[in-house]
């Protein structure tokens, strides 16, 4: 069953996208008035320690955190600005098998940046710090909306306990080769 969670304003704290991967993002020169992008993963913060637990959508389990091991869609209306910074990953891993940031010929981190200026100080800020698939790297995405709605749509069949994901993230993470 599809769920759509309202993440507008303080509701954004209902989710943790640290373990997510933005599958595709259109970072054109000017921001569109609304935007949507696919994202794999995300943690629904539903355990009793979170104050917003009682405000979560009906029909969701309310025990421990839940990881969405599947594709979801983020939608933001009334987008007015923001920025994106992508530190490109190198395809070669280090001796411990870890992904490294790609370097330029001068030894600097290879980074893509784009800023969409915003003239107003009354905008709501939404921040993702996670992996992005294209170009492959670590992304800091900050989007600004002025009174717009932000939603996250996903299928509840993709929900698993966060502990299950943490025990074996390779099984549940986004696999760019097969998706």
> What was the pLDDT predicted at 93?
80
> Which H or E element spans position 165?
helix 162-167
Structure tokens at 81: 């600005």
For residues 156 and 1, give the distance between their C-alpha atoms in angstroms, rounded to a whole number: 6
Confidence band of 53 (pLDDT split at 50, 70, 90): very low
Checking if the pLDDT of 177 tops 60, the result is no
For CA atoms 50, 155, 38, 103, give the dihedral sign. positive
For residues 158 and 96, give the distance between their C-alpha atoms in angstroms, rounded to a whole number: 31
Digit-coded pLDDT (tens) for 18-40: 999 999 998 888 889 999 999 99
Confidence band of 145 (pLDDT split at 50, 70, 90): very high
Highest mean pLDDT among 21-30, 113-122, 150-159: 150-159
Confidence band of 162 (pLDDT split at 50, 70, 90): very high
Confidence band of 118 (pLDDT split at 50, 70, 90): confident
> What was the pLDDT predicted at 95?
87
Average pLDDT over the chain reads: 87
What dihedral do alpha carbons 156, 158, 163, 167 form, nearest 10°?
170
Checking if the pLDDT of 97 tops 90, the result is no
Q: Which residue has the higher pLDDT, 19 or 55?
A: 19
Q: Which residue has the higher pLDDT, 112 or 177?
A: 112
Digit-coded pLDDT (tens) for 63-96: 678 899 999 999 999 999 999 999 999 887 888 8
Domain range annotation of the chain? 2-172
């Amino acid at each position: 069953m599809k769920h759509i969670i309202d993440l507008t304003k303080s509701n954004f704290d209902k989710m943790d996208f640290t373990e997510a991967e933005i599958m595709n993002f259109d970072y054109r020169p000017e921001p569109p008035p609304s935007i949507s992008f696919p994202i794999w993963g995300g943690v629904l913060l539903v355990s009793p320690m979170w104050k917003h637990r009682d405000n979560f959508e009906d029909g969701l389990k309310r025990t421990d955190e839940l990881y969405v091991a599947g594709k979801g869609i983020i939608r933001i209306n009334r987008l007015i600005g923001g920025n994106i910074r992508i530190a490109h990953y190198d395809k070669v891993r280090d001796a411990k098998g870890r992904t490294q940031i790609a370097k330029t010929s001068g030894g600097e981190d290879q980074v893509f940046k784009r800023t969409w200026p915003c003239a107003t100080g009354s905008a709501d800020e939404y921040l993702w710090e996670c992996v992005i698939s294209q170009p492959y790297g670590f992304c800091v995405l900050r989007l600004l909306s002025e009174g717009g709605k932000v939603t996250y749509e996903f299928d509840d069949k993709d929900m698993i306990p966060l502990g299950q994901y943490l025990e074996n993230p390779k099984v549940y993470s986004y696999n760019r080769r097969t998706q």
